[in-house]
Structure 1
Amino acid sequence: MELHAHSHSHHWVRRTPDWRAAAVAGFAAGAILMVLELFWSAWGTGGSPWEISHMIAAIVAGPGSLGSPGFDLGVVALALVTHYVLGIAFGLVLAAVMAPFRLDSSAGMALTIGGAFGVLLYLVNFFVLAAWFPWFAEIRGAATLIAHLIFGMSAAFLYWKLERDDTAL
């Protein structure tokens, strides 16, 4: 159990993130984001709940995956793998920022940093990377921003809860 008895100083220190906790936090936050995306697609826009799966699969398989937004097991499987790999990768990046600056010193700090990370992730994904994956430009907006904000906050909070205290070993 993590006691979070860290100093509240947020200067850089040599401190290795808990990579296992970061991967689990990214995976779980990715699942939360995926549920939000499915909900938004199905009920928020009235579109197919599989449309975003096609967009995510197209990151790996190319724009040919964008075809019919109906259910396709291969497309959904590729989207799941891609989504979870990216979630884990982003969880690792977030932990790599949080640990050395002790931004995991409290739940409030973790949520704040996670929220900022989620907003930054949204901006990079939907404005920078959209140059290579232009189909993501069509889902820019408040709902997608809020979903990414929730992803970042979930990943940071879960990392804070799951990380092992490296100073107690």
Structure 2
Amino acid sequence: MSLNWAAAVVAGIVAGTLATAVQLFLWWAFLDALPWMLYRDARLTAAILMGREVLPPPVTFNWNVMMVATLIHFAISIAYGLILACLISRLGMALSLLAGSIFGLSLYGINMYGVTIIFPWFWEARDWITILTHIVFGISLAGTYKVFAKHELET
């Protein structure tokens, strides 16, 4: 199967949305930390473009921060979707899902340890929930890509 760019973009959006939903659920279920964790992580992400001035407390809702964080989140999710699509375009579903889980775990390492060299404030998000949501992201990215790429071929 050849690379399907549109399916990779859709997969990035779907996986980014699903991983965020799983993360929100886990924060609620295990930490009872909503909406504080959402606002914190949005500020951590938005600070990539907006600068460190969005990081200090209070960690409250801010439309500008949420919009910038959302745009960054989906831009990165789509970029990761394009990368993974290149890696799995010729694999079957089972191997793609396995590759997706490894990809997600690798992204956790890159994002939480590599990116912190440039944006050190991300150390705060290192926890088991973030690890799990990165794995969910990778698996859902791979699965969604394979389903949409196959659907495109059939139509």
* TM-score normalised by length of structure 2: 0.88
Deviation digits for residues 101-152 of structure 1 (CA, Å, limit 9, x no counterpart): x22x22x112101001000100000011111111111221211111000000
CA distance 1:168–1:123, change in 2 (3 Å): same
Query: What is the aligned-residue identity percentage?
Result: 31
Name the residue aligned to 1:12. none
The structure with the larger Rg is 1
Alpha-carbon separation, structure 1, partners of 2:151 and 2:22: 31
CA distance 1:166–1:130, change in 2 (3 Å): same
Aligned length: 151
Which secondary structure state, in structure 2, belongs to the residue aligned with residue 50 of structure 1?
A: helix
Task: Give the alignment's Cα RMSD to 1 decimal.
Answer: 2.1
Residue 168 of structure 1 deviates from its aligned partner by 7.6
* TM-score normalised by length of structure 1: 0.81
What are structure 2's unaligned runs of at least 5 residues? none
Give the counterpart of 1:71 among 61, 65, 76.
Answer: 61
CA distance 1:78–1:159, change in 2 (3 Å): same
- More deviation, 54-63/119-128: 54-63
Larger proportion of helix: 2
CA distance 1:38–1:66, change in 2 (3 Å): farther
Matched, 1:126 2:116: no
Name the residue aligned to 1:51. 40
Name the residue aligned to 1:90. 80
What are structure 1's unaligned runs of at least 5 residues? 1-5, 7-14
Name the residue aligned to 1:143. 129
